[in-house]
Amino acid sequence: MQNGEETVAATETVKPEEVTKQSYRVKVWRHLENNGLAMFPRPVYNRIPNFKGAQEAAVKLAELEVFKNANTVKVNPDKPQEPVRVLCLEQQKNLYVPVPRLQNGFMNRLVLPEGETGPAAIKKAVSRNGMETYGKPLSIEESVSLDLVVMGSVAVSKEGYRIGKGRGYGDLEFGLIMHMKAIKPNTLVVTTVHDCQVFDTLPQELFGPHDVPIDIIVTPTQVIETQRLSQRPVGILWHLLSNRRIQQMPVLAQLREIEMLAGRDCTLKEVDTDIEDRGGSRARRQRRRTRSHKSQSEGEGNTTEGEEKPKNRRTPRRRNSQRSAKENKENKEGDDVKEKPRRPRRPRPVIDFSVKISNISPSTRVRDLKQALIERGVKPQMMTWKGFRGFCYLHFYKTPQKGEGDNIQPPNMESIINALSQMCVAGTGDETSEKPRLLSVEPAPPRNIIRPVTPAVEQPPLEVTY
């Protein structure tokens, strides 16, 4: 990696104990999380990690001639490459974004609605929901020519080797566009990453013919033209895929059928050893239901003869019945039976300080402000939301939550106000297209929160009171 304090490992220093792609992934993910370089969504484990400086890396990419001269650009749908997608739409480039996980299609072309070209419309279009709303599907049989391909990465090297999140989606997307002949010889593959994700070298034996090499690495501070020691995949390598993967991605099944009709060998491997992580695909354990079920033909309030009407689950009778049973048991057994002591209540957390944010637009929603706070690394334990009146309060507890590292200092009033200075938030309502407002941040006296809050083992979710 690069020399400096934010490096993960150097070529001449200690390498991971087990030299695998996963060991490098964990090394990078852990470094981003432990050094405050990770951004929403978190944690960054098992993701293309969003990092501090993603916007600066996108701006540096936009300054390159290869980006300025590109008319058609393909950008992956991950969060750290969202600023690149914004710049493509702002500069009126043809933007293609793959369907996440290739489960419901192949690739979409993002087209803004007529008359909606403002920052709010572009921000909405590049979001996960916006890409589905404004995307026009592209099939593998259509013709397209890409001038630039932007990919996300977990780790890269100056030799051009790339490590993704370990599920093979990026390599499959590249193989599909190679089949479409959308990649020209002069089409470059670029990735935007943090400086700590760049290694000087990565072991060559970890990479195979399906791995996509990188031509240019763009970080918030530098642009690196790689040596690109490996060749690009020529298409989909069917012998590396299992039947399960084909069933999960209909576009692969469609392409395989086309190639089989053309007489090409599309034999799949017999043993399912795909590198894709299947841990998240386990079926959830269904909760046992105690309520009696009725057929749809029966009325909601009707019961058949001899059938009891189901009781409401939320009723104080259960607690009272338990108390009555306990009292009866004590009366029968006598004074020798000792009542089980109650668990003591946990102390109510003490608010250390509060911050007032004003000049909030009436169309701004709580989630808009939450996103702005996350991007600036501010994590209040509680928020009192009065957005319809143009202000809100952020409350911070006196003691840090359990589970935080020893090296993390608790927030203070001055650091929070400095972090929130010059913060702008715009409304996301369908009826508004106003520009982002500059919010006013000032200290506020701690407010007495009536409802007690129980500390959790990890950082609790932001609680909002109205």
Report which secondary-structure segment, H or E, holds 191: strand 183-192
Q: What is the pLDDT of residue 330?
A: 56
SS3 179: helix
Number of folded domains in the chain?
3
In this structure, the answer to whether residues 117 and 266 fall within a common structural domain is: no
Token duo for residue 236: 């989909």
Q: Is 449 domain-assigned?
A: no
How far, in whole angstroms, is CA 142 from its chain's centroid? 30
Q: Which residues does 156 contact at the CB level (< 8 Å), separation at least 6?
A: 162, 163, 191, 193, 197, 198, 199, 202, 214, 217, 226
In this structure, the answer to whether residues 112 and 84 fall within a common structural domain is: yes
**Which alpha helices (DSSP H) does 81-240 contain, by range?**
82-90, 119-125, 128-134, 169-179
Q: Is 392 domain-assigned?
A: yes
> Is 411 in contact with 419 (CB distance < 8 Å)?
no
In this structure, the answer to whether residues 255 and 181 fall within a common structural domain is: no
Cα gap 30→45, rounded to integer Å? 8
Closest CA to 366 of 391, 398, 349: 391
Q: Is 6 domain-assigned?
A: no
In this structure, the answer to whether residues 33 and 147 fall within a common structural domain is: yes
Q: Cα–Cα–Cα angle for 227, 233, 235, nearest 5°?
A: 160
User: Could you tell me the CATH number of the domain that includes residue 83?
Assistant: 3.40.50.10420
Q: Which domain holds residue 430?
A: 351-399+412-444
Q: Is 290 domain-assigned?
A: no
In this structure, the answer to whether residues 206 and 259 fall within a common structural domain is: no
Q: Is 156 domain-assigned?
A: yes
**How far apart, in Å, do the first and last CA atoms of the chain sit?**
48
Amino acid letter, residue 432: T
Q: What is the pLDDT of residue 399?
A: 66
In this structure, the answer to whether residues 208 and 143 fall within a common structural domain is: yes
Q: Is 346 exposed, middle or buried (0-12, 13-18, 19+ CB in 10 A)?
A: exposed
In this structure, the answer to whether residues 197 and 79 fall within a common structural domain is: yes
**Secondary structure E strands in 93-165:** 94-98, 107-110, 135-138, 146-151, 155-157, 162-163
**Which alpha helices (DSSP H) does 150-198 contain, by range?**
169-179
Q: What is the pLDDT along the chain (466 residues), one digit of tens a residue?
A: 554 444 444 444 455 467 999 999 999 999 999 999 999 999 999 999 999 999 999 999 999 999 999 999 999 999 999 999 999 999 999 999 998 877 777 899 999 888 888 888 899 899 888 888 888 988 888 889 999 999 999 999 999 999 999 888 888 889 888 888 899 889 999 999 999 999 999 999 999 999 999 999 999 999 999 988 888 998 898 888 888 888 888 888 888 888 888 888 889 987 776 654 444 444 444 555 555 444 444 444 444 444 444 455 555 555 555 555 555 555 555 555 556 677 777 777 788 889 999 888 888 888 888 888 988 888 888 888 888 888 898 988 876 555 544 555 677 888 888 888 888 887 665 444 567 888 889 998 766 554 444 444 444 556 666 5
In this structure, the answer to whether residues 56 and 92 fall within a common structural domain is: yes
SS3 362: coil
> Is 436 in contact with 361 (CB distance < 8 Å)?
no
Closest CA to 311 of 327, 323, 328, 303: 303
In this structure, the answer to whether residues 28 and 169 fall within a common structural domain is: yes
In this structure, the answer to whether residues 50 and 196 fall within a common structural domain is: yes
In this structure, the answer to whether residues 245 and 152 fall within a common structural domain is: no
Other CB atoms within 10 A of residue 211 CB: 21
Q: Is 459 domain-assigned?
A: no
Q: What is the pLDDT of residue 193?
A: 97
Q: Is 356 domain-assigned?
A: yes
Cα gap 258→275, rounded to integer Å? 25
User: Could you tell me the CATH number of the domain that includes residue 417?
Assistant: 3.30.70.330
In this structure, the answer to whether residues 180 and 269 fall within a common structural domain is: no
Cα gap 176→251, rounded to integer Å? 9
Q: Is 335 domain-assigned?
A: no
Q: Which residue has the tokens 């993603």?
A: 54
Q: What is the pLDDT of residue 69?
A: 95
